Chains A and B, each alone.
Chain A
Amino acid sequence: MMSGTGARIGAGVLVYGILGVMILVPFLSFLMMSLFSVDGVVIDRTPTLMNFERALSDPVIMGVFWRTIELCAGVAVVATLVAYPVALLLQSLRGTARFVLLIAITAPLVLSYVMKIYAFRSILGGNGLLNRLLVGIGVLSGPTDFFVFNLNAVFLVLTVLLAPFAVLPIFLSLEKIPGSLHEAAADLSAGRLHAFLTVTLPLSRPGIATALSFTFVMAIGDFVTPQMVGGPNGFTFGRIIYSQFGLAFNWPFGSALGVLLTIVVVLVLALAALAGRLPGGTSR
């Protein structure tokens, strides 16, 4: 630590070397792969934009691409809408009640991902518990196939699985709002709803932005959920990418689709960073 220039350079080389080999070079190989092509089972390393041209001009792939974005945006919005009241309640609780609710919300986050989807799959399905329950209490006259292994099932499962993830960032941003602001709002005789709309909601915007972007990114990168509850027709973009690395065996094309996915993710994260950073609209 009492470094001469030599030691400092050595440490720098080591640090950036590790980061380069473990993180940067793999991501570069991924980007490069999207510019290659396949010839049978051999990968031809002549750079070409063919994969991107093919993807962008294929109506089936583009259809799935936009549908997946729509689906994940929907998941993000609904998950955040559900998460906000939960975060609000969590923030208002004290002591043991708060601790218990916090555990109830966080425990599913670390519970095996595959098992959560499995649990869902065993109650969905034409003959599943959800259908029987809905018929039993008279909501439906007969079993519906509305959520039986299609995109609706994917939407439902992703929303429920991701909503707890959305609670935490909103909760943290609510915690950061100084109590004095609420008192000030009360002193100025703002009604509770008015105080919420003009003080709490705008100041929790960074949390909302994080919750929206985080759930969107998690949903769009998932291929296990669609595979397990999407059935044969519930195709998502992630599933198509995954298939290129499996049965279809076209790594360059799969990588190009992966790059498109990455661009969407980066755009959404940039947007969220911007939305979270804008000065709060407290004057409205």
Chain B
Amino acid sequence: MTLSLTARTLLAFVTAGLLLAVYGPIIVTIAGAFLPIKGGMIQSLTPSLDAFRSLGKDPGLVRSVMLTLVVGAVATMVAVGLSIALALYAVRRGGRHARIVAFIVFIPFVMPPMVTGLSLLIFFRDLGIDRSLVTVTVGHVVLILAVAYRLVVTRLVDLGPSLIEASLDLGASTWQTFRLVVLPNIAGSLAVAATLCFALSFDETLVTLLLTGTDSTFPIKLWGMTRLGISPAANAILAILLLVTILLASGGLFLARRNSTARAD
């Protein structure tokens, strides 16, 4: 659509305002990581890396990052694996079954995370399972499954049944067909799904807060650190996270872009 100069200026103005509101607090907080702060006041303007150095010395923090990486990796693998199975079933059966599977998979994604978290909390308690990183991981799988499922199903539907039928007609076994025909064709979607799932799991706070036992994942550790007030260490973490996030977001978009161009060919 073509826009007049006035319209463009107006839109740019609103966009700049939103970006300022979103990034302003983040940038101010990051600046705080490099400056010594005491009692909410900047003490001097000499930048220092003390806040960053102190991070490595906090064993609880390093451990929480490691735990979050493990939870994220396991949850992502399980969710992507399950979504392949569910998507294959739904696409193969089609009709009513496809709709029912999609409906159930999307319930936890559409519901507020608090409702999903409470449901799992009550369920685990009914079963007598104590809260731990295992329950957290299950919670993450339930939440992120919808994202992986959606991406895999879309790709499978695009792929159509003819390749699979041809492979089976030519005498390949079901497993061979899956490994040599289906898997290579959905690999791009799986990569996007895994990236998104991992990012969602890494930052998951609401469900994790309800399901975690004594071990803290990274967001829970942050929640504990930031509840008490401003801390230079938390500022330093924000600086690192923003950098990692922008790299991940660009990487994810790049993958998605490449995937869509590959599909267009």
Q: A interface vs B, CB < 8 Å? A: 1-2, 8, 11-12, 14-15, 18-19, 22-27, 29-30, 33, 82-83, 85-86, 88-92, 99, 101-104, 106-123, 125, 127-129, 160-161, 163-164, 174, 177, 179, 182, 186, 192, 200, 217-218, 220-224, 228, 238, 241-242, 245, 251, 254-255, 258, 261-262, 265, 269
Kindly specify which of B53-61, B69-77, B85-93, B151-159 makes contact with the partner chain: B85-93
Minimum CB–CB distance from A103 to chain B (whole Å) comes to 6
Minimum CB–CB distance from B87 to chain A (whole Å) comes to 10
B262 within 8 A of A: no
B164 within 8 A of A: yes
**Which residues of chain B are within 8 angstroms of A82 by Cβ–Cβ distance?**
14, 17-18
Chain B residues bordering chain A, tally (CB within 8 A): 84
Give Cα A92–Cα B241 distance, bound, in whole angstroms. Answer: 30
Give Cα A259–Cα B187 distance, bound, in whole angstroms. Answer: 39
**Which residues of chain A are within 8 angstroms of B249 by Cβ–Cβ distance?**
103, 106-107, 109-110
**Which residues of chain A are within 8 angstroms of B29 by Cβ–Cβ distance?**
118-119, 122-123
Name the contact of B25 in the complex, choosing from A1, A33, A122 (C-beta under 8 A). Answer: A122
- CB pair A179–B118 under 8 Å, yes or no, is no
**Which residues of chain B are within 8 angstroms of A163 by Cβ–Cβ distance?**
18, 21-22
**Which residues of chain B are within 8 angstroms of A255 by Cβ–Cβ distance?**
118, 122
Name the contact of A23 in the complex, choosing from B2, B24, B108 (C-beta under 8 A). Answer: B108
Give Cα A12–Cα B7 distance, bound, in whole angstroms. Answer: 54
**Which residues of chain A are within 8 angstroms of B235 by Cβ–Cβ distance?**
122
- CB pair B15–A85 under 8 Å, yes or no, is yes
B253 within 8 A of A: yes
Question: 15 other contacts beyond A89-B14, A110-B248, A123-B24, with CB at 8 A cut-off?
Answer: A1-B178, A19-B101, A23-B104, A26-B122, A85-B11, A92-B11, A99-B253, A102-B253, A103-B250, A107-B249, A111-B245, A112-B203, A224-B205, A245-B118, A261-B112
**Which residues of chain A are within 8 angstroms of B111 by Cβ–Cβ distance?**
221, 262, 265
Minimum CB–CB distance from A109 to chain B (whole Å) comes to 8
Q: B interface vs A, CB < 8 Å? A: 1-4, 7-8, 10-12, 14-15, 17-19, 21-26, 28-29, 32, 40, 82, 85-86, 89, 92-93, 97, 101, 104-105, 107-108, 110-116, 118-123, 126, 138, 141-142, 145, 164, 168, 174, 177-178, 199, 203, 205-206, 209-210, 218-219, 222-223, 226-227, 230, 234-235, 237-238, 241-242, 245-246, 248-250, 253
Name the contact of B22 in the complex, choosing from A160, A238, A261 (C-beta under 8 A). Answer: A160
Query: Majority SS of interface residues in chain A?
Result: helix
Minimum CB–CB distance from B122 to chain A (whole Å) comes to 5
Name the contact of B26 in the complex, choosing from A11, A26, A102, A119 (C-beta under 8 A). Answer: A119
- CB pair B168–A29 under 8 Å, yes or no, is no
Minimum CB–CB distance from A66 to chain B (whole Å) comes to 17
**Which residues of chain B are within 8 angstroms of A104 by Cβ–Cβ distance?**
19, 23
**Which residues of chain B are within 8 angstroms of A83 by Cβ–Cβ distance?**
18
Name the contact of A113 in the complex, choosing from B3, B40, B92, B203 (C-beta under 8 A). Answer: B203
**Which residues of chain B are within 8 angstroms of A269 by Cβ–Cβ distance?**
110
Name the contact of A220 in the complex, choosing from B3, B11, B112, B199 (C-beta under 8 A). Answer: B112
- CB pair B174–A15 under 8 Å, yes or no, is no
**Which residues of chain A are within 8 angstroms of B120 by Cβ–Cβ distance?**
26
Subset of 14 A-B contacts with CB under 8 Å: A1-B174, A2-B174, A8-B93, A33-B122, A88-B3, A90-B15, A102-B253, A112-B203, A119-B238, A122-B25, A129-B28, A163-B22, A217-B112, A221-B114
**Which residues of chain A are within 8 angstroms of B245 by Cβ–Cβ distance?**
107, 110-112
Are A242 and B25 CB-contacts (below 8 A) given A29-B119, A192-B3? no
Are A89 and B104 CB-contacts (below 8 A) given A120-B25, A221-B206, A251-B122? no
- CB pair B18–A26 under 8 Å, yes or no, is no
Minimum CB–CB distance from A17 to chain B (whole Å) comes to 12
Minimum CB–CB distance from B125 to chain A (whole Å) comes to 8
